[in-house]
Amino acid sequence: GQILPESSVDVLIVGAGPAGLMAAAWMAHTGVHTRVIDKRGTKIFNGQADGLQCRSLEIFDSFGFAERVWKEANHMLEICMWNPDETGKIRRSDRIADTPPGISRFQECVLHQGRIERFFLDSIRDASWKTHPVDVERGVLPESLELDDSKVEDHEAYPITVKLRHLSEEEATPEQYGKQLQDGLFRSNLAPDDTDELLTKSRAAAKEGSEEIVRAKYMIGCDGAHSWVRRQLGFEMEGEPTDFVWGVLDIIPITDFPDIRNRCMIHSASSGSLMVIPRENKLVRLYVQLKEVVPDASGRADRSKITPDTILAAAQKTLSPYKLSYKYCDWWTAYQIGQRVGRNFSKQTRIFLAGDAVHTHSPKAGQGMNVSMQDCFNLGWKVSLVVRGIAQRYILSTYQSERRRIAQDLIDFDHKFSRLFSGRPAKDLTDEEGISMQEFKDVFMRGAMFTSGLSVDYGASMLVAKPGAAAVQGDGTDVSAKGEKVVAKEGLAKHVELGKRFPSFQVLNQVDSRPWNFAQWLQSDGRFRIVLFAGAMTSAAQRERVGAFCHQLENILKRFTPEGRPIDSVIEVLTIHSAKRISVELLEDFPQVLHPFSEEQGWDYNKVFVDDESYHEGHGRAYEQYGIDQERGCLIVLRPDQYVGYIGELEDVKDLEVYFGNILVQPQSVVK
């Protein structure tokens, strides 16, 4: 046969949906040589996922594009619950805040997946064009995959070999079931996967140059619910489908229903349930239960029976006596709820699965895109640090120990929520088959923290210095520190929790007094951060403590920073003090390591902040809100994804050394 072109790459990402693009964003922002391939000829332009948790917005902000999303998205502030009254007519029973107030600087909002993908692509291009340009190669898919087990622990090796096939434009364009109107059926779980068909067709029409061999160090399979990568690895999904079939309609509604611009959960007495999601550009998304479409003996529903008209008719019934129609439909789809989670998230921590490829559930809680992106937000920096020789390879085992539990929690929540949402409301207390509307509300309210994405709480490992034993993986790998165990002192920051994302409050820049939400300085650039709460810098005793700490800090930073790189390139130190801003001076009162000097750029003025009154935006009261002693402060270590890894006193330098020593490679011999 012909000799195929061969090349190598550090990271190969399969699938450019939200999960794949998040992985690509990390690689782009940290300068890793990466290829991203997707079997489709184009990105999606409308429909599909649209709900964005506050945590997802915080993450977008750490890559620099939250503002674009925030501006274009529809902000969802209120949820209205509608239930049948004694006469069976639907009425509004509750209004509640969509996002629990005070938990984040962002609130839940909606913008369709096509725009989110656009913003990712722009951010990826802007961050990478100077170093290793990362670009999505469309109409390209893998057709064979091999992993050389003997080389998985070799840092220099490329143990993964993939044969890629390039499709023609025609082959890469999916067939639409409804010809004029965009529908998502070809992506829905009601449609069979077309990967094998694409490969067969393309092989038959093969032209020279349409195949190539790629060798990769790491591979991330983000190829959706039908994941080809998962099938190659032979990994099973655990869980079941359900009998509920739902239709989705994106329309500009014409209606007299008063809450059409609020998120609504509507339970009718006997005509099913409906969820209203107000969208950007006057659109409204309706999630409608299709009671007439019942799965057959094989457990699958017949998608040919589902049209925009059947979905509308079902919505009209639920909403009656209110009227509903439309002239403009943007997109529609249908799906059957399935709740499944993969047993393995990686093969030898060389080939990973993320997003829908390892967990599927109903879209109603608005979680799929968020959780899928957040899988790769968890994984991306770890792979990047390992590939770049900064972190030890064994940290990669924390991907499964941290994310599989989240997927499991999500499925448990979705299971409960779907049952309560799809069920018929109870007529009264004796109606045991019906769903209690009080229970629905309770589960929903408790779920709000979960669906915000902020309840994510990673367990003990070498990355999170929690007390207690570290999780042991399915394959027996212990994800605790390989060396000594470090236990953080959580009491020093009463409202900061180990393993959770670091909360953000307003602080001021020490030199120019500009207010910042502190998280704006926690960019996703792959660096660990030590946040030094320096306390009362006007007290002599405290200044002495800070001075002594900084002296030793310098040694730690030097030890983990490769020769010739800036001192803040692996671990960045940010300071927040609690004295009056005008009572201290940056250059005189703060040791140099807290505001490093460079020959080219002089002093760094963006590392020391103060918890003080601003001119125009009030006082952030950060110390109080973090629960930290104003006088003595403390220090907090953040992982590159802003999750809290360690909390200690200014004297706990030994802990810092052990914590970082367990994670990072020491490029230089120990300087003592």
Cβ-based nearer residue to ligand FAD, 217 or 361 = 361
Distance CA 512, CA 529 (A): 22
| Cα distances (angstroms) measured from residue 314 to each of 277, 336, 350, 381, 622 | 16, 16, 47, 45, 50
48 or 349: CB nearest ligand FAD: 48
Query: To the nearest whole angstrom, how small is the minimum distance from the Cβ of residue 554 to ligand FAD?
Result: 42
Please name the helix (run of DSSP H) or strand (run of DSSP E) that holds residue 66, with its range, or none.
Answer: helix 66-72
SS3 631: coil
CA atoms within 13 A on the CB side of 486: 29
Number of residues that bind ligand FAD (CB under 6 A): 36
Report whether 56 contacts 374 (CB < 8 A). Answer: yes
Measured from the CB atom, the residue of 356 and 652 that comes closer to ligand FAD is 356
Closer residue to ligand FAD in complex, CB, 120/560: 120
Give the nearest distance from C-beta 333 to ligand FAD in angstroms. Answer: 4
Of the residues 10, 38, 50, 655, only one is catalytic, namely 50
Q: Could you give the CA distance from residue 558 to residue 542 in angstroms, rounded to a whole number?
A: 25
Interaction pattern, residues 246-265, with ligand FAD; x per rule: CB under 6 A: --x-----------------
By CB under 6 A, is residue 333 in contact with ligand FAD? yes
Residue 50 appears among annotated catalytic residues:
yes
Per CB under 6 A, 367 contacts ligand FAD:
yes
The verdict on 16 binding ligand FAD (CB under 6 A) reads yes
Report the C-alpha gap between 518 and 514 in whole angstroms.
11
- Alpha-carbon distance of 52 to 73, in angstroms, equals 9
Stretch that binds ligand FAD, among 220-228, 470-478, 607-615, 640-648 (CB under 6 A): 220-228
Q: Which of 138, 177, 187, 287 is catalytic?
A: 287
Residue 402 as a binder of ligand FAD (CB under 6 A): the answer is no
Q: Does 369 bind ligand FAD (CB under 6 A)?
A: yes
Which one is catalytic: 187, 279, 340, 404?
279
Stretch that binds ligand FAD, among 10-18, 71-79, 291-299, 515-523 (CB under 6 A): 10-18
How many other C-beta atoms are found inside a 10 Å radius of the C-beta of residue 539? 14
Residue 501 · residue 55 · CB < 8 Å: yes
**How many CB atoms within 10 Å of residue 486?**
24
Q: In the set 84, 139, 366, 503, which binds ligand FAD (CB under 6 A)?
A: 366
| Active site (annotated) includes residue 125 | no
| 338 touches ligand FAD (CB under 6 A) | no
Cβ proximity to ligand FAD: between 83 and 372 the closer is 372
Residue 215 is a catalytic residue: no
Q: Give the nearest distance from C-beta 339 to ligand FAD in angstroms.
A: 13
Are the C-beta atoms of residues 614 and 513 closer than 8 Å to each other? yes
Rg (CA), the chain: 26
Burial of 252 per CB tally in 10 Å (0-12, 13-18, 19+): middle
Q: Structure tokens of 230?
A: 């998962």
Stretch that binds ligand FAD, among 12-20, 101-109, 262-270, 597-605 (CB under 6 A): 12-20
Contact segment (CB under 6 A) with ligand FAD among 31-39, 309-317, 525-533, 593-601 equals 31-39
Other Cβ atoms less than 10 A from the Cβ of 489: the count is 15
Stretch that binds ligand FAD, among 48-56, 552-560, 567-575, 588-596 (CB under 6 A): 48-56
For ligand FAD, the binding residue among 188, 378, 398, 561 (CB under 6 A) is 188
Say if residues 190 and 301 touch (Cβ distance below 8 Å). Answer: yes
Q: Are 636 and 646 in contact (CB under 8 A)?
A: yes
Decide: 165 and 141 in contact? Cβ < 8 Å: yes
Strands 211-221 and 351-353: parallel
Query: Is 279 assigned a catalytic role?
Result: yes
Among residues 356, 457, 572, 641, which is the contact residue for ligand FAD, using CB under 6 A?
356
Q: In sequence order, what DSSP letters do the residues of 269-306 get, joined into one string?
A: SSS-EEEEEE-STT-EEEEEE-TT----TTS---GGG-
CA distance 336 to 294: 10
Sign of CA dihedral 480, 482, 484, 490: negative
Q: Please answer whether residues 560 and 660 qualify as being in contact, where contact means their C-beta atoms are separated by less than 8 angstroms.
A: yes
The count of residues in the chain is: 672
Query: Which window, 61-69, 96-104, 223-231, 464-472, contacts ligand FAD (CB under 6 A)?
Result: 223-231
Rank residues 335 and 381 by Cβ distance to ligand FAD and give the closer one.
335
228 lies in the binding site for ligand FAD (CB under 6 A): yes
Is 51 one of the binding residues for ligand FAD (CB under 6 A)? yes
Task: Choose one: 321-329, 352-360, 381-389, 547-555; the region binding ligand FAD (CB under 6 A).
Answer: 352-360
The single residue among 9, 13, 18, 272 that binds ligand FAD, judged by CB under 6 A, is: 18
The answer to whether residue 640 forms part of the interface with ligand FAD (CB under 6 A) is no
Q: Spell out the residues 6+ positions from residue 656 whose beta carbon is closer than 8 angstroms to its own.
A: 530, 553, 556, 635, 637, 646, 648
Cβ at position 406, least distance to ligand FAD in Å: 13
Q: Which stretch binds ligand FAD (CB under 6 A): 14-22, 150-158, 378-386, 450-458?
A: 14-22
Beta bridge mates, 284 = 251, 278
- Of the candidates 372, 528, 399, 385, the one whose C-alpha atom is nearest the C-alpha of residue 32 is 385
Q: Which is nearer to ligand FAD, 331 or 626 (CB)?
A: 331
Sign of CA dihedral 323, 326, 331, 334: positive
Q: According to CB under 6 A, which one of 308, 342, 363, 515 is a site residue for ligand FAD?
A: 363
- Whichever of 412 and 624 has its CB closer to ligand FAD, that residue is 412
Smaller CB separation from ligand FAD, 417 or 528 = 417
- Please identify which residue in 9, 11, 12, 19 interacts with ligand FAD, judged by CB under 6 A: 19
- DSSP conformation class of 522: -
Residue 368 or 459 having the CB closest to ligand FAD = 368
Quote the CA–CA distance of 14 and 36 in Å, as a whole number: 6
Decide if residue 141 touches ligand FAD (CB under 6 A): yes
Contact footprint for ligand FAD (CB under 6 A):
14-20, 37-40, 48-51, 141, 184, 188, 195, 222-224, 228, 248, 333, 335, 355-357, 363, 366-370, 372
Catalytic positions, please? 50, 279, 287, 363
